Amino acid sequence: MPDPRPPTPGFEPLRTERFRLRALRAEDAPDLHRLVNDWDVAKMLARVPFPYPRPLADEFIASTHVSMAAGSAWHLAITGQEGESEVLVGCVGITRDPESRAAELGYWIGRRFWGHGAASEAAGRLLRWSLANLPIDRVVASALLENAASQAVLRRIGFRESGMGEREFVSLGGARPVRLFEARREDVGAPALAASGQKPILLVAACALIDADGRVLLARRPEGKAMAGLWEFPGGKLHAGETPEDALIRELHEELGIEVQTACLAPFAFASHADAAFHLLMPLYVCRRWTGRPQGREGQALAWVRPEKLSTYPMPPADVPLVALLRDLL
């Protein structure tokens, strides 16, 4: 007999140490209603009424399928395991702003699961996924002025306070003051400054692989790395005792599965960039000959880009000045 349930949208669940973030399903409605129809939960959420009508849970779940299919929002169930059973813990969502390269993060956790770090674990995971996989540069969030717990969660996962504002809260019957937050790639997982306040020099080698059609290979930094979601020239940090050429030969094999000879690496330009925690020095090499077909062996997306299109790909600040030089060369 065919399954009468509507298919789950094509979203690969995200996993954390304890939880799974997946698309909401119609059968989640009773548990969702039970958890969110709680004054202590609803009063902290801007768009949630109280009491929360049971049919609204069905409507909300159906709407998440539409927005996910449209690529405008991802509202996900946070689930955990209790024995052999999957248990709904809460919800977390990210909504893109169609007018800018920004998105808004929101979440709630059922009262039964408070105090166990569920919000930080789930919201932090979706924040990192969003910056790595969506065409956005920043994520915003807000919390009621009196909601110190939610503010602490946002700070813990990388958000910076950006000011004060007001939002309409349906359950509270009007506007209430909120604290505003913002996170960019450099805020998420950024290393702390050295106690001395002096920045170490970070030496990184990069390579512009150029194919027979004059296109340049760019790699997108995968989730879990600093500045995830930005496009860059392949390469990486030098190990102790390595020359830039040795580092590139190693990195291009590890990242792309190709073999490159030292004689095929031509020094071209370099970038010098001050980061919050270090100063980056990056020589850029040009390579037109290699063995093998480049593949993203670390989960990174690849793109062969014509020189005039390079500037349309968002890049780390250190890579940007090199684009014009490379375009002039080609």
Instruction: For residue 56, count CB atoms less than 10 angstroms from its CB and return exposed for 0-12, middle for 13-18, buried for 19 or more.
Output: middle
The band of 1, judged by pLDDT with boundaries at 50, 70 and 90, is: very low
State mean pLDDT over 142-163: 94
Distance CA 19, CA 9 (A): 19
- Pair 77, 35: CB distance under 8 Å: no
What pLDDT does 199 receive? Answer: 62
Q: What band does 275 get if pLDDT is binned at 50, 70 and 90?
A: confident
Whether residue 141 is predicted with pLDDT greater than 50 in this model: the reply is yes
pLDDT at 9 over 80: no
CB neighbour burial string for 257-274, b if at least 16 within 10 angstroms, e if fewer: ebebeeebbeebbbbebe
The answer to whether residue 189 scores a pLDDT higher than 70 is: no
Q: What are phi and psi of 184, to 5 degrees?
A: -120, 175
Q: What's the Cα-to-Cα distance from 118 to each of 5, 88, 113, 142, rounded to whole Å?
A: 28, 12, 7, 18
Instruction: Give the model's pLDDT for residue 193.
Output: 36
Q: Which residue has the higher pLDDT, 9 or 187?
A: 187
pLDDT bracket for residue 266 (50, 70, 90): very high
Percent of the chain scoring above 90 in pLDDT: 72
What pLDDT shows up at residue 15? 93
Regarding beta strands 266-274 and 138-144, do their DSSP bridges make them parallel or antiparallel, or are they unpaired?
unpaired
Is the model's pTM score more than 0.85? no
Mean pLDDT of 300-317: 93
**pLDDT tier at 198, thresholds 50, 70, 90:** low
Mean pLDDT of the chain: 89
Confidence of residue 105 (pLDDT cuts 50, 70, 90): very high
Give all domains of the chain, ordered by start, each with its CATH number.
Answer: 14-187 (3.40.630.30), 201-329 (3.90.79.10)
Mean pLDDT over 165-170 rounds to 95
Query: Distance of alpha carbon 4 from its chain centroid, rounded?
Result: 34
More confident: 99 or 73: 73
